[in-house]
Amino acid sequence: MHAIAPYSIRFFDPNSTAIKIEDRYSKLDKVGAYDAFKILEDYFKRVDDKFVIAEDTKQVYRFKGMAADPAKRQVAGWFEVGSYGVKNDIIDIKTGNVDYQKTQENAEIIRHYVRFFVPSGFNEGIALLHSFKGAGIKTLLHELLRVEFVRITKLNLQMNPLAYKKAFVSWEKAAAKEIRLTKFEGMSDLTDQIKKLGHKEQQLIIKPPSRSSLGLFKDYLDPNSDKYKVVEYLSPMCAHVKVVVELGGKRRTFTIGRPADEQVCEIAIDEEDVDFIAGNPVGSSLHKWCTIVLQDLADALYPKMGVKV
């Protein structure tokens, strides 16, 4: 499963004497004596495309195709990351035969799309980070950038997940059209029948009666609602719970089912929205779709400010 998780970008001055905590955050174009966009642009221009080994975390990584757009104050590209240190067999799923023996020195590399938006005049920007099957790159990426910003500005870079209610206020009243339970194991006889259909990843889809809905999106985020409690009950029985919502003719697929205090706004990347080749999203198609998602976020974070991405 491919998904995009949005994070906020902020810069905190631990030495500030401001009484209000909010006043200790710098505007993005005035991070000390520097511009956060310019620091990001210079950083990605400086790093080459050779893989770097992080021995402490047993990871290898590199940035690939990172491009800056000064007019839009955005940087986007790919962060390729893999892990090593464990010996595994790579099998052919059709035959069950071992095709390749992965040694402790081998790493499977996953391409993760990353995008930064750092508008001037605001103290909060947006980062879109791609994950695959729940594995993301936020911890490693944040540490690399944190070190760079501390070195130059002496301020602390914070990248915190944007919660649903802050990120997508406009989607709260969207009608829920489907509930998708991935790898559902609640009723063994049912899941056994699903597996016989030959799908790589079985999925149980719950739909409402014709011309109806399964309630509003906000109902699935409210711990006091019946719909939240149903999802809470179903979550341990499957790998992922996703809700497909519709508003004004547009659809989004969100991953839900986490406790309310851990709700991270994770938007599933569906093949209906993005082109795929060999199981991977096509770069140009993903970038175009993420522009729409980024605009939704900008409208929520900078309401009535006319911010365009």
Residue range 45-57, pLDDT digits in tens: 999 889 999 888 8
Note the pTM of the prediction, 2 decimals.
0.82
Please give the angle made by the CA atoms of 32, 77 and 38, to the nearest 5 degrees: 20
Q: Which amino acid is at 105?
A: E
CA–CA separation, 41 and 12 (whole Å):
20
Nearest to 45 by CA among 61, 63, 28: 63
Distance separating alpha carbons of residues 117 and 226, to the nearest angstrom: 37
Cα–Cα distances in angstroms (integers) from residue 286 to residues 171, 225, 294, in the given order? 21, 34, 12
Q: Report the distance separating Cα 77 and Cα 141, nearest Å.
A: 13
What are the Cα distances from residue 104, in Å, to 55, 84, 87, 99, 206? 13, 6, 5, 17, 42
pLDDT profile of the chain (309 residues), mean per 10: 92 81 88 95 93 89 96 97 83 79 82 97 96 86 96 94 77 89 66 50 78 85 86 81 88 74 71 90 96 92 90
What confidence score (pLDDT) does residue 261 get? 44
Residues in contact with 287: Cβ distance below 8 Å, sequence separation at least 6, in sequence order: 76, 113, 115
Which amino acid is present at 189?
A: D
Per-residue burial over 53-87, b if 16 or more Cβ lie within 10 Å, else e, is eeeeeebbbbbeebebeeebbbbbbbbbbebbeee
164 vs 171, 265, 301, CA distance in Å?
A: 9, 5, 12
Contact 169, 300 (CB under 8 A): yes
Q: Provide the mean pLDDT of the chain.
A: 86
